[in-house]
Structure 1
Amino acid sequence: MSRQQAIVIGAGIGGLAMGIRLQSLGFDTTIVEKLDSPGGRAYVRHADGFTFDMGPTVITVPHFIEELFSLERDRADLATPDFPDEIVDESKRIKTGVSGGSNTSRYVKIVPILPFYRIYFDDGSFFDYDGDPVHTREQIQRLGEPGDLEGYERFHQDAKAIFDRGFLELGYTHFGTVGSMLKVAPDLIRLDAVRNLFSFSSKYFKSDKLRQVFSFETLLVGGNPLSVPAIYAMIHFVEKTWGIHFAMGGTGALVNGFVRKFEELGGKMLYNAEVTQINVTRQGRKKVATGITLADSSVLNADLVVSNGDWANTYGKLIDSKYRRWNSDIRIKLTQQSMSLFVIYFGFKADGHEADKLRHHTIILGPRYEELLRDIFGRKILAADFSQYLHVPTLTDPSLAPPGHHAAYTLLPVPHNGSKLDWQQLGEPLADTVLKFIDERGYLPGLTERLVHKSFITPDYFEHTLNSYVGNAFGPEPRLYQSAFFRPHNRSEDIANLYLVGAGTQPGAGTPSVMMSAKMTARLIAQDFKVANEIVNAQPEPKLTYR
């Protein structure tokens, strides 16, 4: 009997995780990718002897990676606990420098990073966030105002309760019906997890600096701290529980490990293959995805299609509007998209003092916090001031640069292209301004003279190269009314045998979330195609009627 065929659109981390899971479910899977190599947002740029990860660099929950590398062909393992005791119970938790998994180590070496982040404030003071309970409290005592240490104890307790309920218990819940959301709403209200995160953190801290420390992280997944629900306080505990890690060789090494695993399981990669249409046919009253059409007009047929592409682009550009009612053009236009990014990749000569002020991950906050967020997300203007995330991976892995040099990138949250900003005019001056700031403020003194490579990407890259609607960097913005049931679903409501995975769907953006998304989508596929009887941990959902 012939095996069922599956197609995954997009070779980002979510698409690769999806492909690995589909192979373990028994499908013959092809991943099609527009670019010439894998990664998607995690694409790798090589220039002048430097290796630059273009996107995600923060790895959390290494258990998710180990689980993917442990899967076997035709042996779906979706019934095992999502968070086994050796991962959750601190007394049993695996604590190693290689992500806690022997299977991961066959493909990539992952090492812990300390501190997780060094966070600089505009006055030059800083907070080293490392998850150490004693050190954290010492810094709160030093930077905070009277009462902030007691406030942290309450924040810690309440954030843990949100983490326990929102991540450990509900993290893999697919909210495919209103009822599935209403069942958990009382708990989230009781935990005060529905107010915005900045307001939530402000309950516990008087110090503006500490309010920023305990709310900025959502920017790394496209969320505005002023509007993202406080359930995202769980990020603090996700990082505190499993730490921050780095793949030696860069995130691209992790991507290559996933490709190798996928191909070992029998999967097929197809590069330089841009999808122009998801093919849909009517079978009676039912609309069914039957495959894809590529830019060269070739057609690939399949029993199911999974899109790891941008949600709005998937429905708005790849599927004729006559097949869409739930994911209509009106809904796409009304959905608020996440901000975009301006990223500068630069290589420079080392002087031996890079570690004096910088760490592997450094957050440099500007003079304004709340008003800058309103400029980016609300007013959609490019302000004169900025905050940035500066990544210098060669402090951990010198192999990413020529001898005697460092590779780095610095990332600025900026408005998406709904702003109508002209990045052809703005890009070069902004890059020069930011690098001059890093030099003159003493983060990398003499950088201007030591610079040997500079390049950058703007929201135009996200829109035209990565095919993200209005150049968003993280999919729909994670606001309360765009979360859970109201966030795009992993199983299409409009078209049978069409599924979604990745940042734009549930549970959301970020490297761990897109891996969770792949498992959630795999469970839905397993239910629909009845290919894994051992799936006892999957959430039952009512049968959909496609019209």
Structure 2
Amino acid sequence: MARPPELTRRKVAVIIGAGIGGLSLGIRLQSLGFDTTILERLDGPGGRGYQKRTPDGYVFDMGPTVITVPHFIEELFALERDRAALGAEDFPPAVRQAPRVTSGESGGPRTRDYVKLVPILPFYRIVFDDGSYFDYDGDPEGTRRQIAALAPEDLEGYERFHRDAQAIFERGFLELGYTHFGDVPTMLGAVPDLLRLDAVRTLFSFTSKYFRSDKMRQVFSFETLLVGGNPLSVPAIYAMIHFVEKTWGIHYAMGGTGALVQAMVRKFEELGGTVRYDAGVEEILVTDEWGQLVRTPLGRRQARGVRLESGETVPADLVVSNGDWANTYLRRVPRAARLVNSDLRVRAARQSMSLLVIYFGFRDNGRPLGLRHHNILLGPRYEALLREIFGQKVLGADFSQYLHVPTLTDPSLAPEGHHAAYTLVPVPHNGSGLDWTVQGPLLVDRVLNYLEERGVIPDLRARLTHLEYVTPDYFETTLDSYLGNAFGPEPVLTQSAFFRPHNRSEDVSNLYLVGAGAQPGAGTPSVMMSAKMTARLIAQDFGVPAEITG
């Protein structure tokens, strides 16, 4: 279908935030024929995926490190200016049936023009408090062997879990993954299948149906913590993560996630888009039906651009926020323009937990580390610790952590003879009232002691050459995240699908959301899916054909 001729001028889009969601959407909008500017308040791209380079030669990804579904990345890099195919099949047979890459380079031919992806095996090394471990790689035979060694009583349960998780994946991800639940009928249409699949009970309850061993229950439920979800309260539809990883594997961008972010910036700019840094947005400009800035809750409301913290006004035909959902409405949309996303509703929403993240470099002592690229170090308690973090919002006597050692795959991130690593500890968000100027250093010390005394990294303190950390205060101030949450609204059942913030604003026309705070949720693949969902809504609203072929 030939694209209709331009009427007067190309429509102008402004995206707030150069995170992965904002960059993914920017690429898509450029391919749809919009003139797009991304405004970023930091001095570089990435948002939560910002990459830091230190004077002493270390490179740290500040946030996401797990890359799945390389098909999503390939699709972005294959887009061309004014040539989009939003109506194309999202998961064609070639993608569903492609063999999982286990060595060499992964990603499609266009991806290889921009960034080098490599598969990571095992996906995670999960280390239990007693020192035993489970190398989780998605291979059913390897999984069965390890279950037989650690919890033979759960072998039969794993077969049933594998079957039922696959059914949830096929319906919840392959068929419903790109569904924007913007109205009640759409939601109701999905409910019968979700009930049939038992996907609305909590994930931990779901896994407990199949596994009697505490270890296996933890292995098959921990992953939601990497997207801000409490396994005790997220719906069991998140069991599909097991199959998302099993189907397409886990990947790493050589140079770190920051290399993927920079590649996306390059692609966006090649398509004609513009990124502006140090350009924080103070207000989304909303006018009434007479073209006046909204001062009362009467009349039709429409986004007309943004005002920067510098005072500069940037006009636009549409505005998209890739920022925190709560602060987008509470701080940037006039209260008089908000009826659905009122102060009361936004403040009442449950926010995900936050994080303490320690970034450190250390000397290689010539002995192999008993670690893998991705490591999950579980403490002595699981359910009780989760209740403390998400419910009571206190710091417990113990902790669990995700330890990322990318230099096992990519030595370029550290000076020669050194490793770069970060360890991430889930903690309550700032609704807890904890004083992180006091608690932060204490928890950092406890974590370093654990890593050394438990032999995770022997003689760590003597080998340390670099140390810094962030607390929930970083998320609240630097990343402008409400209460310092790390992943947006907590993905409980009452904040999922239709009940999660909508990608098209219910209050203001031509205002949209993308990223972790919108549908479908947090996590690198989800925010890329969010970008395609939002692009489809914008295409519908602005009369752009679903398929543009030039």
Moved more, 78-87 or 497-506: 78-87
Match of 2:384 in 1: 371
The answer to whether structure 1 residue 388 and structure 2 residue 392 are counterparts is: no
Alpha-carbon deviations, 1:358-412, whole Å to 9, x = none? Answer: 0000000000000000000000001120000000000000000000000000000
Name the amino acid aligned to 1:323. A
Distance 2:277 2:243 in 1: 38
Aligned 8 A contact 1:145 1:207 in 2:
no
Alpha-carbon deviations, 1:413-452, whole Å to 9, x = none? Answer: 0000000000011111211210111011001000010001
Aligned 8 A contact 1:122 1:364 in 2:
yes
Cα deviation for residue 97 of structure 1 reads: 3.8
The answer to whether structure 1 residue 409 and structure 2 residue 422 are counterparts is: yes
Cα deviation for residue 100 of structure 1 reads: 3.1
The gaps in structure 2 that reach 5 residues or longer are 1-7, 291-298
Alpha-carbon deviations, 1:477-509, whole Å to 9, x = none? Answer: 000010000000000000000000000010000
Distance 1:166 1:80 in 2: 19
Match of 1:293 in 2: 307
Alpha-carbon deviations, 1:46-95, whole Å to 9, x = none? Answer: 1221000000000000000000000000011112110011110256x777
Cα deviation for residue 225 of structure 1 reads: 0.1
Question: In 2 relative to 1, CA 445–96 (structure 1 residues): closer, same or farther, beyond 3 Å?
Answer: closer
What are the within-5 Å matches in structure 2 for residues 274-313 of structure 1?
274-283=280-289, 285-313=299-327
Match of 2:50 in 1: 43
Distance 2:162 2:441 in 1: 43
What are the within-5 Å matches in structure 2 for residues 355-370 of structure 1?
355=369, 357-370=370-383
Name the amino acid aligned to 1:306. V
Name the amino acid aligned to 2:22. G
3-state SS of paired residue (1:174): coil
TM normalised by structure 2 equals 0.96
Aligned 8 A contact 1:218 1:224 in 2:
yes
Match of 2:220 in 1: 214
Moved more, 335-344 or 128-137: 128-137
Name the amino acid aligned to 1:457. V
* Selected match of 2:75 from 51, 59, 67: 67
Moved more, 93-102 or 181-190: 93-102
3-state SS of paired residue (1:331): helix
Match of 1:141 in 2: 148
Cα deviation for residue 99 of structure 1 reads: 2.9
What are the within-5 Å matches in structure 2 for residues 101-120 of structure 1?
101-120=108-127
Cα deviation for residue 354 of structure 1 reads: 4.2
3-state SS of paired residue (1:345): strand
* Selected match of 2:341 from 327, 331, 336: 327
Name the amino acid aligned to 1:21. R
Distance 1:198 1:107 in 2: 39
Match of 2:134 in 1: 127
3-state SS of paired residue (2:301): strand
3-state SS of paired residue (2:53): strand
Distance 1:90 1:202 in 2: 31
3-state SS of paired residue (1:467): coil
Match of 1:516 in 2: 529
Distance 1:158 1:373 in 2: 25
What are the within-5 Å matches in structure 2 for residues 77-476 of structure 1?
77-90=85-98, 97-146=104-153, 148-283=154-289, 285-355=299-369, 357-476=370-489
Cα deviation for residue 333 of structure 1 reads: 1.2
Aligned 8 A contact 2:451 2:457 in 1:
yes
Distance 1:202 1:97 in 2: 37
Match of 2:293 in 1: none
Alpha-carbon deviations, 1:289-318, whole Å to 9, x = none? Answer: 000000110000000000000000000000
Match of 1:496 in 2: 509
Ranges of 4+ aligned residues in structure 1 off by more than 4 Å:
93-96
Distance 2:169 2:389 in 1: 28
Aligned 8 A contact 1:63 1:99 in 2:
no
Distance 2:364 2:102 in 1: 33
Distance 1:207 1:535 in 2: 53
Cα deviation for residue 531 of structure 1 reads: 1.5
Match of 2:295 in 1: none
Distance 1:50 1:368 in 2: 34
Distance 1:75 1:95 in 2: 33
Cα deviation for residue 532 of structure 1 reads: 1.9
Name the amino acid aligned to 2:531. A
Aligned 8 A contact 1:387 1:412 in 2:
yes
The answer to whether structure 1 residue 34 and structure 2 residue 47 are counterparts is: no
Aligned 8 A contact 2:201 2:236 in 1:
yes
Distance 1:169 1:182 in 2: 15
Distance 1:220 1:301 in 2: 37
3-state SS of paired residue (2:508): coil
Alpha-carbon deviations, 1:148-206, whole Å to 9, x = none? Answer: 10000000000000000000000000000011101110100000000000000000000
Aligned 8 A contact 2:102 2:121 in 1:
no
Match of 1:543 in 2: none
Alpha-carbon deviations, 1:30-56, whole Å to 9, x = none? Answer: 000000000000001112210000000
Aligned 8 A contact 1:119 1:127 in 2:
yes
Distance 2:270 2:20 in 1: 17
3-state SS of paired residue (1:183): helix
Match of 2:294 in 1: none
Match of 2:296 in 1: none
Distance 1:533 1:172 in 2: 14
Aligned 8 A contact 1:159 1:237 in 2:
yes
TM normalised by structure 1 equals 0.96
Distance 2:500 2:65 in 1: 25
Aligned 8 A contact 2:389 2:428 in 1:
yes
